Chain A
């Protein structure tokens, strides 16, 4: 992100998650804040708080009384959609509405439902790898990782394959372009809503076996879901399922490209995979969530004001030495690993089983084809800004020996 905001000088009192220093490497910032003040504050974005320790991140995630989910992306403005539904149910919903809105979706993302997509995902990854044949240096982020979740989500929703570039634009506008003005964001949101509207019309005319048709037929309290609810949920699936998984796959490949011992272990020892997958998810968790303060309250000794944001940096909680032994060391055999990569509490990432399957298949396929890849030029690596962190450029040599 190129900041439209002044450079941060003091992270405890004026932090900004779009600042180039944070985008490049947020871990030293979080380490400093964890020591200095458990909850930092900034007047940017109309007021935003930042807990960095596992304990306070967990407390906020569990506390649906003091904190609302009606918007979960920190921007200059405040969302128009009121609680408890919010703009993209169920991620933007609060109890009691949240429970039922989430239940509708859970079966579509259960381990068994996700298993049915494994073969599709494997074929997809193989096809992407075929296209890399003949190259000696590739961008693992833009030549490989980014295509995987986009294709899987398009298949789940039953949206046209050829619209995948459009999805990536929607995702970028929502998650990365967070320093746009409210007018720009509303205009972009309108484009997304119009697109989903066209897809709903097509599914109404031609129902089929996919998540979109499922939502059109779903009921809540004996009534069909409202148009806004369906649009919000599809928007959520489209936005939340793409940048996140792309980032996790890219970050894990980046780690392996610069850590030959770890790559060798994963290429040669199938037994390491179960713990290795979770450790890579822990160390490079992509997602920082957010809440809004419901009304003036005290939290962790701080006076929080209504409508201030609270960022929930799960990646920082995952590096808290109070919760994880030697947290900055990537230990692919780590036994105790209660990572918060998919959040905690009632908003646990709905797509976590899907993300984990895509992540595992993407790594397995890549390592099987290229067991010796290595980072080409560390200076070429560029990270996304905002609340989803992953490499957006990362050149690796794929035929290294």
Chain B
């Protein structure tokens, strides 16, 4: 599972960072980015889902894998 933050939509609510500092980082102004390339380590899938479901700006999404 891989996730991404849409920087255009993020308004710095910090809900994702509150749910999972393992998966998200915030800069000095509070805007969020994914840690690394957004790949969700095993065991953190539920936190990734929760971050997606709690962003008021709908800024977080899964990156769908291209069909092989």
Contacts and interface: CB of A to CB of B under 8 A. Distances in A.
Interface of A: 103, 106-107, 109-112, 274, 278, 335-340, 342, 344-346, 348, 352-353, 356
A103 B18 CA distance: 21
- Residue of B13, B18, B26 most packed against chain A (CB within 10 A): B13
Contacts of A337: 53-54
Nearest to B58: A338
Contacts of A274: 18-19
Interface string B15-31: 10111000000101110
A348 B53 contact: no
B50 A335 contact: yes
B4 interface: no
30 contacts: A103-B29, A106-B28, A110-B26, A110-B28, A111-B17, A111-B18, A111-B26, A111-B30, A112-B28, A274-B19, A278-B15, A278-B54, A335-B50, A335-B53, A336-B53, A336-B54, A337-B54, A338-B53, A338-B56, A342-B13, A342-B56, A344-B11, A344-B56, A344-B57, A346-B11, A348-B13, A348-B56, A352-B13, A352-B14, A353-B14
Contacts of B53: 335-338
Nearest to A110: B30
A49 B12 CA distance: 28
Nearest to A102: B29
A56 B57 CA distance: 15
B40 interface: no
B15 to A, nearest CB: 8
Contact of A338 (B28, B29, B30, B54): B54
B55 interface: yes
Nearest to B11: A348
Nearest to A339: B56
A110 B29 contact: yes
Contacts of B18: 111, 274, 356
Contacts of A345: 11, 57
Contacts of B55: 338
Contacts of B56: 338-340, 342, 344, 348
Contacts of A107: 28-29
A341 B57 CA distance: 12
Contacts of A342: 13, 56
Given A335-B50, A340-B56, 17 more contacts: A106-B12, A106-B29, A109-B30, A110-B30, A111-B14, A111-B18, A111-B26, A274-B18, A278-B15, A335-B53, A337-B53, A337-B54, A342-B13, A344-B11, A348-B13, A348-B56, A352-B14
B38 to A, nearest CB: 20
A347 to B, nearest CB: 9
Query: Which 7 A-B residue pairs are closest in the complex by CB-CB distance?
Result: A106-B29, A336-B53, A348-B11, A338-B56, A107-B28, A110-B30, A111-B14
